[in-house]
Amino acid sequence: MTDEPRHGSGEARPDPDPPGAARPADGPPGGDDSGTPHDGSHHDRSHHDRGRHDRGRHGGTRHDAAHDDAPGAAASRLTGRAAVAERRLSAALAEVTLDGGQVVMVKRGDAPGAVRAEAAGLAWLAEARAVRVPAVRGHDAHRLVIDRVAEGRPDTRAALRFGRDLAALHAAGAPAFGAPPPGGPEEAYIGRAPMRNVPGDDWPSWYAAHRVLPYLRRAVDEGVLRPAEAAEIEGVLERLPDLAGPAEPPARLHGDLWNGNVLWGADGRVWLIDPAAHGGHRETDLAMLRLFGCPHLDRVLAGYQEAAPLADGWRDRIGLHQLFPLLVHAVLFGRGYAEQALAAARGAPA
């Protein structure tokens, strides 16, 4: 989630005492020890590429020589093309130029299934032919090679189109709530936190059981959230069937749609990176996009509403959908996010 640099610019660092309100548009806290300067490439700022591929997010140990090869060698091995230059952006992320001039990003992931989950997620999102995602050029158990996206600047026209494209992505659907992308593992990740993709037919019960309660319990176990506070959140979960709004089919979610994973391309289109893709409720993606801010968010929402109007009362449900990312942040970064999760629960409709 928020512990990693984008594929390109400098890293944010964990904020031990975040404010209770939504964070500014430049993204949530996070980061590791390998800061990289902004170079206009999406691969320096991605929180997922930072934490997911630099350190703790994937934990684990190295298993083979291929895992330890240099980024250029890995790119050559996985694409079948010679690498002519490489530039390391962090301990686990590098920009590699291939013979012929194509530039790719080479990312390392250590935990079992981490690279497989991301590659499958990118392919699943691309299959919808809606929001653009970088193409996967090759991967193995520990390395992922994807196209580099040249970044431009946010603008209102791109924001409006992004909203429409995001609606189309969601409408592409999923087999069930919690369904992983085809070929993706059940045991996936969001940021450095494990995330289980367990299918379910009913969104309120599935969301409570597999997206909120695992992190709520961990927050209590680690002393980040008091038992009495957790009981307040559990009380809201018990009322979810009445609070969730009209039933909707499973949407094809990016799954970790914070501003750091939204790239404003030099081509005038928005690109998405670092998915934690699964089947879910479309309002969850939108709630996370709002949680940490996004340039021209009003135009993004206008484009979305134009293409696929949200059900009445969606604004009142934003806090419910933010419980999941806030509790993930609580277990990764501490008490400040636990307080935000509690505030979101207390703000649920009576």
Nearest Cα to Cα of residue 203 among 174, 177, 239: 177
Tell me the C-alpha distance between 30 and 26, whole Å. 12
Single-letter amino acid code for the residue at 4 = E
Nearest Cα to Cα of residue 90 among 62, 53, 64: 53
- Out of 256, 267, 285, 298, which one is annotated catalytic? 256
- The token pair at 227 is 């038992």
- The token pair at 306 is 């134009």
Question: Would you say the C-alpha torsion 345, 181, 159, 163 has a positive or negative sign?
Answer: negative
256 noted as active-site residue? yes
**CA-to-CA dists, residue 16 to 108, 225, 229, 331, angstroms:** 27, 15, 20, 12
Beta strands, E only, 206-297: 251-253, 262-264, 270-272, 278-280
3-state secondary structure of 98: strand
Active site members: 256
